């Protein structure tokens, strides 16, 4: 049992979580913290400071950095601020920040397309690139990108989101090919339909669509934030030492149906 606990422990590890102020990313950051990691929450929201204070109430330190990942001119400074909080070391990067916009493809606004690609795809690569340089110098690191179930199949009304998440999956594989031999594991999690504030709105506004989706999930329910916690800790820990370049669905069996 001690061997198992040691393999999954994140004691002494240092992590950066983008989009960590709230929602699924906050819960994944909490899982890393509960496993022993010192965490920096990076988000554009002012609430990131309160979220860090709440998480830091017990266990290892939690820090907050506010920054706009779509402003590429500030990314180096944002990353440096995160790294400074961790005394120059980062063992885990969780790229979770993302945005969404629903619109028929024929009418999809160019500015919305660009903003989604900037945050969901380009910023993910740049954060991987900056953290990767640090990890290469350490000869150790765990990068976990948040892709989506939509990276496996075409969707409707979310062309930019689907394109961005498919790109995240491919970036994950490409970086793994370059860095796996140098002590860096690069993997992605592809959540399915998850119960969040946004999907709660769908349940109320369009119950027929919500029920139709639910009927297609073999487990008969939407995912909960805690359904991601175990996989996040696993991929961040030494228990996943021989896993790299994987895109792992967490979807209640949806893709297998």
Q: What is the pLDDT of residue 158?
A: 94
Residues in the chain: 257
79 is catalytic: no
C-alpha–C-alpha distance, residues 194 and 121, integer Å: 20
User: What distance in Å separates the CA atoms of residue 198 and residue 202, rounded to the nearest whole number?
Assistant: 7
Residue-wise pLDDT for 133-170, tens only, equals 999 999 999 999 999 999 999 889 999 999 999 999 99
Quickly name the fold that domain 2-195+225-247 has.
Answer: Rossmann fold (3.40.50)
| Mean pLDDT of the chain, nearest integer | 95
Average pLDDT over residues 108-121: 98
Cβ–Cβ under 8 Å, residues 147 and 203: no
Indicate whether this model's pTM tops 0.95: yes
pLDDT at 257: 84
Check whether 203 has a pLDDT greater than 90.
no
Q: Which one is catalytic: 126, 161, 193, 210?
A: 161
Domain ranges in the chain are: 2-195+225-247
pLDDT of 59 > 90? The answer is no
Q: How confident is the model at residue 197, as a pLDDT?
A: 76
């Amino acid at each position: 049992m001690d061997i198992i606990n040691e393999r999954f422990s994140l004691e002494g590890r240092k992590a950066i979580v983008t989009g960590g102020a709230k929602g699924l990313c906050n819960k994944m950051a909490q899982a890393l913290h509960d496993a022993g990691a010192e965490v920096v929450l990076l988000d554009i929201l002012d609430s990131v400071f309160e979220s860090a204070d709440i998480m830091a109430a017990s266990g290892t330190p939690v820090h907050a950095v506010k920054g706009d990942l779509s402003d590429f001119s500030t990314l180096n400074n944002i990353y440096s601020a995160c790294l400074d909080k961790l005394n120059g070391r980062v063992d885990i990067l969780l790229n979770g920040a993302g945005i969404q916009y629903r619109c028929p493809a024929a009418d999809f606004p160019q500015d919305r397309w660009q903003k989604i690609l900037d945050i969901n795809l380009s910023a993910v690569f740049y954060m991987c690139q900056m953290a990767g340089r640090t990890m290469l110098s350490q000869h150790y690191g765990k990068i976990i990108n948040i892709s989506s179930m939509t990276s496996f199949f075409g969707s409707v009304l979310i062309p930019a989101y689907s394109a961005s998440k498919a790109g995240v999956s491919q970036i994950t594989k490409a970086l793994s090919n370059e860095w796996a031999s140098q002590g860096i594991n690069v993997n992605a999690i592809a959540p399915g339909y998850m119960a969040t504030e946004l999907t709660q709105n769908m349940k109320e506004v369009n119950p027929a669509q919500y029920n139709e989706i639910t009927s297609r999930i073999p487990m008969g329910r939407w995912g909960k934030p805690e359904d991601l916690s175990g996989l996040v800790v696993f991929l961040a820990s030494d228990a996943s030492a021989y896993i790299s370049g994987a895109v792992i669905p967490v979807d209640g069996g949806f893709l297998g149906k």
